[in-house]
Amino acid sequence: MAHVVITGCNSGIGLELCRQLTARGDVVYAACRNSSPELEAVGVKGGVVTGVDVCTDAGCETLRAYLAERSVRVDVLVNNAGGLGAAPGHTWDEQVAQQTFGANLDVGAMSRAFEVNVVGVVRVSKALESSVKAPGGKIAIVSSLMGSCGDNGSGGFLQYRVSKAAVNMAGVTMACDLKEKGIAVGLIHPGMLQTNFGNLRQAPKSKQKYFRPVEPGVAGVVQAIDALTMETTGSFIHGNYGNGLKPCPW
């Protein structure tokens, strides 16, 4: 039974992580800005911690204080909260256009993507470092193959890709800096999953067909977390939809 803290839990990958880890007996602390009926229905053992905006120091302090008050020693911190970087209210197609290098490129989306996908991960990890077991603790970062330079042959999603490449570097650097403490850090690609990330459900069916069910994708993420050790710290792994882990190209 592990004590697991997860950010961004009210929907998508975070919500399914809560379901799967709770079902196997782990004590999950579900952090989010606002809860949801679906998250409340999971019945996480550690509790739902609201008001956790990873883009603010105050939000991260809310989570740190919640854990400190309960003397929680964290086995696994999962940095799951993330975003495409688009301003609210845009459809999938509009976001695609805004993240393609050209006339419609939204340069402001770059800073928004960095704030949640990179700075947010570092901010949460720093706030909870003293709560993570040392040695033996793990920090998992839900990254993306879209942050791979070696895999990028299609372009598009410029701001999102760049932010995920940056968080990969942040994760590897954290792995080096936390090695002496015995805390392992891993970067995990969950695959293309049927969540509503970036208003995906508004995307054309021709695009949606490439996305796979959430449950096996998250099962692969869980397998990657379980497999993370000090020997593999700093690695970038594809959960591969539960069909056997494989390394991602940088």
Tell how far CA 128 is from the center of its chain.
16
Q: What is the pLDDT of residue 240?
A: 97
Q: What is the pLDDT of residue 211?
A: 75
217 close to 171: Cβ distance less than 8 angstroms: no
> How far is 217 from 32, CA to CA, in rounded Å?
21
> How far is 169 from 165, CA to CA, in rounded Å?
7
**Number of CB atoms found within 10 A of residue 104's CB:** 11
167 close to 118: Cβ distance less than 8 angstroms: yes
Q: What angle do CA 112, 62, 166 make, to 5 degrees?
A: 30
b/e per residue 37-48 (b: at least 16 CB within 10 A): eebeebebbbeb
Q: What is the pLDDT of residue 212?
A: 81
**Number of CB atoms found within 10 A of residue 99's CB:** 25
Q: What is the pLDDT of residue 203?
A: 63
102 Cβ contact list (under 8 Å, min separation 6)? none
pTM value is: 0.95
Torsions phi, psi for 247 (to 5 deg):
-70, 150
Run means of pLDDT, 10 residues per run, the chain, 250 residues: 96 97 98 97 98 97 98 98 84 86 90 96 98 98 97 92 98 98 98 74 68 92 98 98 97
CATH numbers and ranges of domains, the chain: 3-247 (3.40.50.720)
In angstroms, the Cα distances linking 210 to 25, 28, 44, 163, 169 are 32, 31, 31, 22, 27
DSSP letter for 201, please.
G
b/e per residue 137-162 (b: at least 16 CB within 10 A): bbbbbbbbbbbbeeeeeeeebbbbbb
Q: What is the DSSP string of 96-122?
A: HHHTSSSTT--THHHHHHHIIIIIHHH
Q: What is the pLDDT of residue 126?
A: 98
